[in-house]
């Protein structure tokens, strides 16, 4: 690249003094002027091979939809300007640099992931209309002049989806992956097997999907309601669909990590092939409510044969180096009552059922390692001893992650108190049914995934973070999007951004970013614009009230008599006390106008 750097011209351009990128890049230096993409702009590819053609194609796809033109792709160096250069600058994987000048953009990368992430940032530097799927008239497709250097903090930036408690079709999964990729999230943890349904076609065991996809009905409301809907529920993914999705994800630099649960959460498989169980019951049925079930795999040779066969097909479908073997919530009741299991414990000289579980997982790890793959499992795989090469996904809290890191095993942090997206994100009094929490956007944003108690040497084993979407109470794509976004933006930023937390900066960028999610038709939760009213227990006759709102530069105005607050209502500025006759009605205001919804909370 020997082009002479031209000074950025300011003529006729409003300089954007800030940009709003999520996740926040490592280094941004704003300059004056803008680069405008028009129909004569060219894309220069340093490496005009399929991978980079595809990345350039993503830019053209958006431009064609929103701007009505696409750009010529060339591998001929030109000095004329009005070019977006993609240059292999030998950067580390996933890293990129962007230099925007009035007559050119230079994107530096070291691999396709870096070039792809640069493009995701370019999209966020353009007007939000670039995310529209229809022609936007009168938009100037301008990018502010700047210099940017960016690289991820963690190599593992994950988002999970449970498709067992509820099933989601492949089109939705593609959209899910698209939105992940926009946030530079690079691992899709696909939770495919459960007590309530088996969703992955396995050719050698056709019953797993013919039968195991089904449950005869589903609990209504919370898991203990005792009320069932009487409607069979099923759904599965054919191997052809899986291959298609794996490729779709790979083209967006997302690795799919399949999860095949063992030894617990196996009831759907056992309902198809009862010989996989300890055989203590006459009849096994796919679960119809949520929770943990005592019917687990029995560690018999035939069970291992089955699991090895399943993983053989999994390896054919998923190129991921790492597969998730579950390992969580495996009750020991069946193993305690099973003569085979008890004899095995004695024969192997094991102390108890926890050591049997460890032996089970280690045996599976040996097989999986022999096929050139590695395992990751939930915290409970620490019980009875960690398998020699296992990675741990820490969900119970941080303790498992800390223990594993101290044993020099890699760890992904997904503590449920901070990173479970099935928890309430706003006041449960006014939100749909959820699993726990509340876990607000701010709580998620502020979570620091490297525990302070780790030494720097141990801290290196924390390889990343993951947001988990368990779908007990999400029976539609709309519900998933509502629960996942924008909180997942916070997790994505923690996974990517090197610099410390900046809640105020995040909320400012997020407000702009929500406009992009609107264009992308992501049905995120809008609690960001609403007051969160919290009643703190005081006396029998009184509550202490605090209120917060995430949206920046907003004030909360409220009433205590049930009337709708307006621009003349009192502004909340400190905690106050209410009595039993009072109801708090509040809204967030900017410039005298309500920006979100009116929230009411009754004593
Ligand atoms: C889990 O939530 N059972 C990993
Ligand atoms: Zn058994």
pLDDT of 573 higher than 60: yes
Domain 156-498 has CATH 3.20.20.80: yes
pLDDT in tens, 273-326: 999 999 999 999 999 999 999 999 999 999 999 999 999 999 999 999 999 999
User: What pLDDT is stored for residue 77 in this prediction?
Assistant: 87
CA 452 to ligand 1 centroid distance, Å? 24
pLDDT for the residue numbered 80: 77
12 confidence band (pLDDT: 50, 70, 90): very low
82 Cα to the center of ligand 1, angstroms: 51
CA-nearest residue for atom 1, ligand 1, is 328
Q: How many CA atoms lie within 13 A of 439 on its CB side?
A: 27
Q: What is the pLDDT of residues 163-197, one digit of tens each?
A: 999 999 999 999 999 999 999 999 999 999 999 99
- Spatial distance between the Cα atoms of 51 and 363, rounded to a whole number of angstroms: 39
pLDDT band at 3 (very low <50, low <70, confident <90, very high): very low
Q: Which ligand lies nearest the alpha carbon of 276?
A: 2
Q: How far is the CA of 25 from the centre of ligand 1 (A)?
A: 32
Please state, in angstroms and rounded to a whole number, the distance separating the CA atoms of residues 599 and 591.
19
pLDDT surpassing 90 at residue 558 = yes
**Residue whose CA is closest, atom 2 of ligand 1?**
395
Reply yes or no on whether the pLDDT at 4 is more than 50.
Answer: no
Q: What separation in Å is there between the alpha carbon of 295 and the centre of ligand 2?
A: 10
Query: What is the residue-wise DSSP string for 324-347?
Result: EEE-----SHHHHH-HHHHHHHHH
Per-residue model confidence (pLDDT) at position 569 = 98
Residues 323-365 pLDDT 10s: 999 999 999 999 999 999 999 999 999 999 999 999 999 999 9
CATH 2.60.40 placement within the chain: 530-602
User: Which part of the chain is CATH 3.20.20.80?
Assistant: 156-498
**CA of 344, nearest ligand number:** 2
pLDDT at 41: 97
For the domain covering 530-602, report its CATH number.
2.60.40
pLDDT bin (cut points 50, 70, 90) of residue 6 is very low
| Delimiting residues of CATH 3.30.379.10 domain(s) in the chain | 2-150
Ligand closest to the CA atom of residue 270:
2
CA distance 52 to 110: 12
255-262 vs 104-109, strand pairing mode: unpaired
Between the CA of 299 and the centroid of ligand 2 the distance, in Å, is 6
Helices (H) and strands (E) in the chain, counts: 17, 24
Spatial separation of the C-alpha atoms in residues 41 and 65, rounded to whole Å: 16
Please identify, by atom number, the ligand 1 atom nearest to the C-alpha of residue 416.
2
Nearest ligand to the CA atom of 378: 1
pLDDT of residue 531: 98
Tell me, in angstroms, the distance from the centre of ligand 1 to residue 328's CA.
6
Q: What is the pLDDT of residues 88-104, one digit of tens each?
A: 999 999 999 999 999 99
Q: Which atom of ligand 1 is nearest to the CA of 378?
A: 4
CATH code linked to domain 2-150: 3.30.379.10
For residue 329, report the distance from its CA to the centre of ligand 1, in Å.
Answer: 7
Pocket test for ligand 1, best of 470, 471, 472 (most atoms within 8 A of CB): 470
Instruction: Please list every protein residue whose CB sits less than 6 Å from any atom of ligand 1.
Output: 328-329, 378, 395
Nearest alpha carbon, ligand 1 atom 3: 328
Ligand 1 atom closest to the CA of 329, numbered from 1: 3
Selected residue with higher pLDDT from 102 and 2: 102
Per-residue pLDDT tens over the stretch 472-530: 999 999 999 999 999 999 999 999 999 889 999 999 999 999 999 999 999 999 999 99
- Ligand 1 atom closest to residue 393's alpha carbon, by position in its atom list: 4
């Amino acid at each position: 690249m020997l082009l002479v750097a031209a000074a950025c011209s300011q003529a006729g351009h409003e300089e954007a003094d800030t940009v709003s990128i999520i996740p926040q890049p490592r280094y941004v230096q704003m300059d004056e002027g803008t680069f405008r993409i028009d129909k004569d702009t060219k894309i220069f590819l340093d490496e005009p091979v399929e991978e980079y053609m595809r990345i350039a194609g993503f830019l053209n796809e958006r431009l064609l939809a929103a701007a009505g033109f696409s750009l010529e792709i060339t591998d001929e160096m030109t000095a004329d300007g009005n070019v977006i250069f993609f240059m292999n600058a030998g950067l580390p994987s996933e890293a990129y640099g962007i230099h925007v000048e009035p007559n050119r953009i230079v994107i530096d990368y070291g691999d396709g992931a870096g070039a792809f992430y640069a493009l995701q940032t370019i999209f966020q530097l353009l007007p939000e209309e670039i995310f529209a799927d229809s022609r936007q008239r009168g938009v100037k497709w301008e990018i502010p002049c700047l210099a940017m250097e960016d690289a991820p903090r963690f190599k593992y930036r994950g988002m999970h989806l449970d498709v067992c408690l509820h099933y989601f079709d492949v089109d939705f999964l593609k959209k899910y992956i698209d939105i992940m990729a926009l946030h530079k999230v690079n691992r899709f943890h696909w939770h495919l097997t459960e007590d309530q349904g088996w969703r992955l076609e396995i050719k050698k065991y056709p019953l797993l999907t013919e039968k195991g996809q089904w449950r005869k009905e589903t609990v209504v409301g919370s898991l203990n309601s005792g009320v069932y809907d009487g409607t069979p529920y099923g759904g599965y993914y054919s191997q052809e669909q899986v291959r298609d999705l794996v490729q779709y994800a790979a083209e967006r630099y997302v690795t799919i990590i399949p999860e095949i649960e063992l030894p617990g959460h196996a009831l759907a498989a056992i309902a198809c092939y009862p010989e996989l169980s300890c055989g203590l019951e006459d009849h096994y049925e796919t679960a119809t409510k949520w929770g943990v079930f005592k019917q687990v795999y029995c560690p018999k040779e035939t069970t291992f044969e089955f699991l090895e066969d399943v993983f053989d097909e999994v390896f054919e479908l998923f190129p991921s180096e790492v597969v998730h073997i579950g390992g969580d919530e495996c009750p020991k009741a069946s193993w305690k009552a099973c003569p085979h299991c008890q004899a095995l414990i004695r024969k192997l000289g094991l102390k108890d059922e926890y050591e049997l579980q460890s032996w089970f997982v280690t045996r599976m790890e040996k097989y999986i390692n022999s096929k050139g793959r590695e395992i990751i499992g939930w915290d409970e795989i620490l019980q009875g001893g960690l398998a020699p090469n296992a990675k741990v996904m820490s969900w119970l809290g941080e303790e498992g992650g800390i223990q594993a890191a101290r044993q020099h095993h890699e760890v992904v942090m997904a503590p449920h108190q901070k990173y479970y997206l099935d928890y309430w994100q706003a006041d449960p009094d006014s939100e749909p049914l959820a699993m726990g929490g509340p876990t607000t956007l701010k709580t998620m944003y502020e979570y620091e995934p490297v525990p302070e108690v780790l030494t720097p040497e141990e801290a290196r084993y924390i390889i990343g973070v993951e947001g988990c979407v368990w779908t007990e109470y999400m029976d539609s794509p709309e519900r998933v999007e509502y629960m996942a976004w924008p909180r997942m933006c916070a997790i994505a930023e923690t996974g990517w951004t090197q610099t410390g937390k900046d809640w105020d900066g995040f909320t400012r960028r997020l407000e702009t970013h929500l406009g992009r999610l609107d264009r992308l038709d992501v049905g995120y939760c809008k609690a960001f614009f609403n007051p969160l009213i919290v009643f703190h227990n005081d006396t029998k006759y009184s509550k202490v009230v605090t209120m917060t709102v995430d949206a920046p530069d907003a004030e909360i105005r409220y009433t205590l008599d049930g009337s709708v607050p307006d621009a003349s209502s009192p502004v909340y500025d400190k905690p106050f006390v209410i009595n039993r006759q009072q109801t708090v009605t509040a809204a967030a205001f900017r410039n005298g106008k309500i920006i979100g919804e009116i929230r009411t909370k009754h004593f």
